[in-house]
């Protein structure tokens, strides 16, 4: 195997779980998530020579997110919410099974854009400016969408910028 | 731990059943088919002196199979939707094949232009030309990126040489390529929205359409989804 291919194989091993997990959060479907990850890695491999020394992970993430979004109804569903979820108990990481089930259910209630913002912002830890760039919307839209999504999730985050420190996107 | 920390923890909680590992062999096989031979041209020499320019051969992304089977027969000659400010030159001072197509994108180095250029690659006998992106300033024409087909024929039905969407010499080169077939519309989706490419018929072969996307709408190749070509009646030409 060529050196570049070895590097790519290592890249896939190191990042596949996280990217597939993100795809699952975006789609709510395991098979779609695995297919999206496969597609993202395929296109990243095609561009490997020019992204391997840059931000290969960011490239793969962007391909993944746009691939998933492309599979949704276009443009973004802005009015997909049916009914706000009943008030949930506050999240408790100790109740992992219940929490996972709740998360899966409640993410489906969010609109596509809300779900995308939540995943990019709170799963990938991307700063709002980068979320805006990834989704092709304004920072203001990211802020308002994030706020609306958290409200649906019954999350109190008076100042999420202070809460989410880092923003490495990794 | 506050609510937001709890949400983040929930989002990152691994699934009960691990996801399937990506099929690495298939990724490499399919990814190889998407690759294109491309040359980033360095230096300041014009295209006429391209043979003396150091060529860095790397690969580029192509979003589609090089020659997808047509789902409909290309119709009779169609009128191609013109780009907002396309300009062409019938007397280029460089060995372009057919007219040089102006994109209307002005940069300090000149207008970004696209044009076909002959290639001679012994292992690719059915590939006789590639598509170059470059700058035109007055009579000067300077290529910065050359992309060509690497499989089959350069004129097989479908998309070819899709490239660009990256900064070269401090300038964002738009995503560009050509479609062999009478496409009247070419689209992709970015952030879930359909984006139309600018089109120009290649004057050396009216069955070939050169296309490019507005960099403001398609800032890089990563945001693209597979390209789709339509005929003048709005019928999809590609799957």
Judging contacts by C-beta atoms under 8 Å, the chain B residues touching residue A5 are: 28
pLDDT of residue B112: 97
* Total domain count, chain B: 1
Judging contacts by C-beta atoms under 8 Å, the chain A residues touching residue B24 are: 9, 12
- Nearest-by-CA chain A residue for B25: A9
Give, in order, the Cα–Cα distances in Å from B11 to each of A65, A98, A120, B28, B176. Answer: 16, 13, 11, 30, 38
Report the candidate in A1, A2, A9, A17 with the shortest Cα–Cα distance to residue A44.
Answer: A9
Is B144 inside a domain boundary? Answer: yes
Q: Which residues are CB-neighbours of B165 under 8 A, at least 6 positions away?
A: B172, B173, B174, B175, B213, B215, B218, B219, B220, B221, B222, B224
Judging contacts by C-beta atoms under 8 Å, the chain B residues touching residue A50 are: 58-60, 166
Cβ distance B28 to A8 less than 8 Å, yes or no, reads yes
Q: Which residues are CB-neighbours of B59 under 8 A, at least 6 positions away?
A: A46, A47, A48, A49, A50, B35, B36, B37, B38
d(CA B226, CA B229): 10
Total residue length of chain A: 170
Interface size A-B, in CB pairs within 8 Å, comes to 162
B138 min Cα distance to partner chain A (Å): 32
Cβ distance B222 to A74 less than 8 Å, yes or no, reads no
Is B181 inside a domain boundary? Answer: yes
pLDDT of residue A154: 77
**pLDDT at A94 > cutoff 90:** no
Per DSSP, the three-state class of B227 is: coil
Is B164 inside a domain boundary? Answer: yes
Is B29 inside a domain boundary? Answer: no
Structure tokens at B63: 């979003």
Mean pLDDT (chain B) is: 79
Is B107 inside a domain boundary? Answer: yes
Cβ distance A38 to B31 less than 8 Å, yes or no, reads no
Task: Calculate the CA dihedral of residues B204, B129, B103, B239 and round it to 10 degrees.
Answer: 90
ipTM > 0.95, yes or no: no
pLDDT of residue A22: 96
A22 min Cα distance to partner chain B (Å): 9
**pLDDT at A69 > cutoff 50:** yes
Report the candidate in B212, B199, B201, B183 with the shortest Cα–Cα distance to residue B98.
Answer: B201
Give, in order, the Cα–Cα distances in Å from B85 to each of B101, B104, B106, B172, B199. Answer: 10, 5, 11, 18, 11
d(CA A29, CA A10): 26
pTM of the model: 0.71
- Nearest-by-CA chain A residue for B6: A91
Q: Shortest CB distance from B19 goes to which of A5, A21, A156?
A: A21
End-to-end CA distance of chain B: 50
Mean pLDDT on B100-105: 96
Judging contacts by C-beta atoms under 8 Å, the chain B residues touching residue A153 are: 7
Confidence band for B239, pLDDT divided at 50, 70 and 90: confident
- The residue behind tokens 């998309």 is B159
Mean pLDDT on B154-175: 91
Is B118 inside a domain boundary? Answer: yes
Mean pLDDT on B83-95: 46
Residue of B1, B2, B7 to mutate, testing the A interface (most A Cβ within 10 Å of its Cβ): B7
Total residue length of chain B: 239
Cβ distance B223 to A66 less than 8 Å, yes or no, reads yes
- The residue behind tokens 């408790």 is A92
Is B139 inside a domain boundary? Answer: yes
The boundaries of the domain holding residue B209 are 97-230
Is B46 inside a domain boundary? Answer: no
B22-70 tens-digit pLDDT: 999 999 998 887 777 777 775 544 443 333 333 333 333 334 433 333 3
Q: Please give the residue that has the higher pLDDT: either B48 or B6.
A: B6
């Amino acid at each position: 195997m060529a050196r570049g291919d070895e590097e790519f194989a290592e890249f896939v091993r190191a990042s596949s779980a996280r990217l597939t997990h993100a795809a699952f959060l975006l789609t709510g479907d395991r098979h779609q998530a695995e297919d999206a990850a496969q597609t993202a890695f395929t296109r990243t491999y095609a561009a490997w020579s020019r992204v391997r020394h840059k931000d290969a992970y960011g490239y793969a993430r962007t391909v993944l997110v746009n691939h998933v979004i492309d599979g949704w109804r276009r443009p973004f569903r802005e009015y997909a919410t049916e009914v706000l979820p009943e008030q949930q108990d506050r999240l408790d990481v100790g109740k992992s099974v219940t929490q996972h089930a709740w998360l899966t259910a409640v993410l489906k209630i969010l609109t596509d854009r809300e779900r995308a913002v939540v995943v990019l912002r709170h799963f990938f830890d991307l700063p709002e400016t980068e979320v805006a760039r990834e989704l092709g919307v304004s920072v203001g839209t990211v802020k308002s969408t994030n706020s609306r999504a958290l409200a649906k999730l019954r999350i109190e985050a008076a100042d999420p910028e202070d809460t989410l420190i880092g923003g490495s996107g990794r | 731990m506050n609510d937001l920390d709890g949400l983040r923890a929930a989002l990152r909680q691994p699934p009960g059943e691990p996801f399937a590992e990506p099929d690495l062999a298939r990724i490499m096989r399919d990814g190889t088919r998407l690759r294109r031979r491309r040359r980033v041209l360095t230096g300041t020499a014009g295209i006429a002196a391209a043979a003396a320019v150091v060529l860095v051969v790397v690969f580029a992304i192509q979003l589609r199979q090089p020659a997808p089977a047509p789902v409909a027969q290309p119709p009779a000659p169609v009128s191609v939707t013109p780009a907002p400010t396309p300009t062409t030159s019938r007397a280029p001072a460089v060995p372009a094949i057919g007219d040089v197509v102006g994109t209307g994108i002005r940069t300090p180095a000149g207008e970004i232009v696209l044009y076909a250029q002959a290639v001679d690659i012994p292992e690719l006998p059915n590939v006789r030309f590639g598509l170059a992106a470059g700058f035109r300033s007055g009579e000067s024409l300077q290529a910065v990126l050359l992309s060509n087909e690497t499989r089959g024929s350069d004129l097989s039905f479908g998309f070819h040489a899709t490239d660009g969407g990256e900064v070269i010499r401090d300038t964002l080169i738009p995503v560009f390529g050509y479609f062999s077939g009478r496409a009247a519309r070419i689209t992709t989706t970015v952030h879930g929205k359909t984006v139309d490419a600018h089109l120009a018929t290649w004057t050396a072969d009216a069955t070939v359409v050169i296309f490019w996307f507005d960099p403001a709408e398609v800032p890089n190749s990563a945001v693209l989804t597979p390209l789709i070509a339509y005929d003048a009646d709005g019928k999809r030409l590609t799957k």
